[in-house]
Structure 1
Amino acid sequence: MKIGFIGSGNAAQTLGRSLAKAGHDVKLGARTPEKLNAWLDQLHQDERVRVGTVQEAAAHGDILFNATPGTSSVEALSDVGSQVLQGKVLIDIALPLDFSNGELTLAVANTDSLGEQIQRAFPDTKVVKTLNTVSSAIMVNPQSVADGQHDLFISGNDANAKRIVTAILKESFGWESVIDLGDISSARGTEMLLAISSRIYQSRGNMNFNIKIVG
Structure 2
Amino acid sequence: MKIGILGTGNVGRALAAGWTGAGHDVVLGSRRSDDTQLRAELAATLGEGVPVADPLSAVVGAEVVVNATPGTASVPLLAEIGAPALAGKVLLDVSVGFTEDGALSHPGESLGEEIQRTFPDTMVVKTLCTIDARLMGTPDSLEGPSTVFLSGDDGEAKRTVGGLLNDLGWPTESLLDLGGITTARGQEHYSLLFLGIAGAIGSYGFGIRVVAPSRG
Q: TM-score, normalised by structure 1?
A: 0.93
Contact kept? 1:27, 1:60, Cα under 8 Å: no
Aligned to 1:72: 73
Partner residue of 2:110 out of 109, 113, 119: 113
Number of matched pairs: 207
Partner of 2:86: 85
Aligned: 1:39 with 2:42 = yes
> 2:164 is aligned with what amino acid?
I
Structure 1: give runs of 5+ residues left out of the alignment: none
Question: Conserved in 2, the CA contact under 8 Å of 1:132 and 1:190?
Answer: yes
Corresponding residue for 2:156? 160
Which SS does the other structure have where 1:70 is aligned? coil
Q: Secondary structure at the match of 1:105?
A: coil
Query: Deviation of residue 38 (structure 1)?
Result: 2.6
Offset from partner CA, 1:6-45 (integer Å, 9 cap, x none): 1211110111011111101100011111323332144442
In the aligned structure 2, how far is the partner of 1:114 from the partner of 1:76? Answer: 13
8 Å Cα contact 1:87-1:125 kept in structure 2: yes
Shift of 1:211: 1.1
* Alignment correspondent of 1:175: 170
1: CA distance, partners of 2:20 / 2:12: 12
Aligned ranges for residues 1-215 of structure 1 at < 5 Å?
A: 1-33=1-33, 34=35, 35-46=38-49, 49-100=50-101, 104-109=102-107, 111-147=108-144, 149-170=145-166, 172-176=167-171, 177-214=174-211, 215=213
Percent identity of equivalent pairs: 40
Please give the alpha-carbon distance, in whole angstroms, between the structure 1 residues aligned to 2:27 and 2:40: 13
Gaps of 5+ in 2: none
Q: 2 CA distance for matches of 1:139 and 1:44?
A: 19
Q: TM-score, normalised by structure 2?
A: 0.92
2:42 and 2:159 map into 1 onto residues whose CA distance is 31
CA offset digits 1:104-130 (Å, max 9, x no partner):
220112x31100000000000000000
Question: SS of 1:193's equivalent?
Answer: helix
For residues 45-104 of structure 1, what are the alpha-carbon distances to aligned partners after superposition, in whole Å with 9 as ceiling and x for unaligned? 22xx1111111111121101001100111101001110000000000000011233xxx2
C-alpha distance in structure 1 between counterparts of 2:59 and 2:203, whole Å: 33
